[in-house]
Amino acid sequence: MEKMPYRDELDLQVRPAVSEQAVSTDWRGSLPVLANGSVILRDLRVSDAPSLFALLTTEEVARFISPPPTTVEGFERFIAWTHRERAAGKYACFAVTLKGYDTAVGIFQVRDLASGFDTAEWGFAIGSSFWGTGVFETGANLVLEFAFDTLGVRRLEARAAVQNGRGNGALLKVGAVLEGVLRQSFAKSGHYYDQGLFAILEKDWRAAREPKPFVHRVSVH
């Protein structure tokens, strides 16, 4: 999430050609609804702009991420941009919602790193009143399944500022491995921050989901 690829000032309304990649194509028309328990991920809607503006622009949420839009209208433009990028087959952005409460309380993003989703990067931000509630972990696992099973990702990267304790902890708990530190790779408000480079490999993700063989221990005295 440190590198939210959207920039208001760079939104020139250019429709890129649809890239030709051997990945499942129907998500380009609209994202599937992903659900587990009370967490529901769905395509963003322009009407999500007010809640995302209220929840994702607070100091504690925005502290270690690239600056989010500063107005509701800016979020509306961001959402329209996510739809164009999705239609071009380069990017997917899910709204995080809760069962019976269709308001967007956060986002998960996955973007192609110029290799037909062989390697991709993900990021996420959730309103702070939902931190520590399990919403992140449930949503993250849905997004991982979408990335590996639908997009065909082989390597999923994430970057998190070293000082972003929750971001680092969140990545580690869903299986991301810290591979190194990208020194002074993130600039914000006149400061350069080191970022951890995390990755999850598809093969590791699949192996972790395989049922563990049952070992019956017999005590011998």
Ligand X SMILES: CC(C)(COP(=O)(O)OP(=O)(O)OC[C@H]1O[C@@H](n2cnc3c(N)ncnc32)[C@H](O)[C@@H]1OP(=O)(O)O)[C@@H](O)C(=O)NCCC(=O)NCCS
Q: Is 179 in the site for ligand X (CB under 6 A)?
A: no
Compute φ and ψ for 182, nearest 5 degrees: -95, 100
Residues in the chain: 221
Per CB under 6 A, contacts with ligand X among 79-138 are 123-126, 131-132, 136-137
Q: Is 77 in the site for ligand X (CB under 6 A)?
A: no
Tokens 């999705």: give the residue: 86
Per CB under 6 A, contacts with ligand X among 40-69 are 61, 64-65
Q: Which stretch binds ligand X (CB under 6 A): 75-83, 85-93, 167-175, 181-189?
A: 167-175
Closest CA to 15 of 111, 95, 86, 97: 86
CA 133 to CA 56: how far, in whole Å?
A: 17
Q: Name the minimum Å distance from CB 195 to ligand X.
A: 9
**Is residue 199 within 8 Å of residue 158, measured between CB atoms?**
yes
Choice between 89 and 139, CB closer to ligand X: 139
Residues of this chain that bind ligand X (CB under 6 A)? 1, 61, 64-65, 123-126, 131-132, 136-137, 158, 160, 164-170, 173
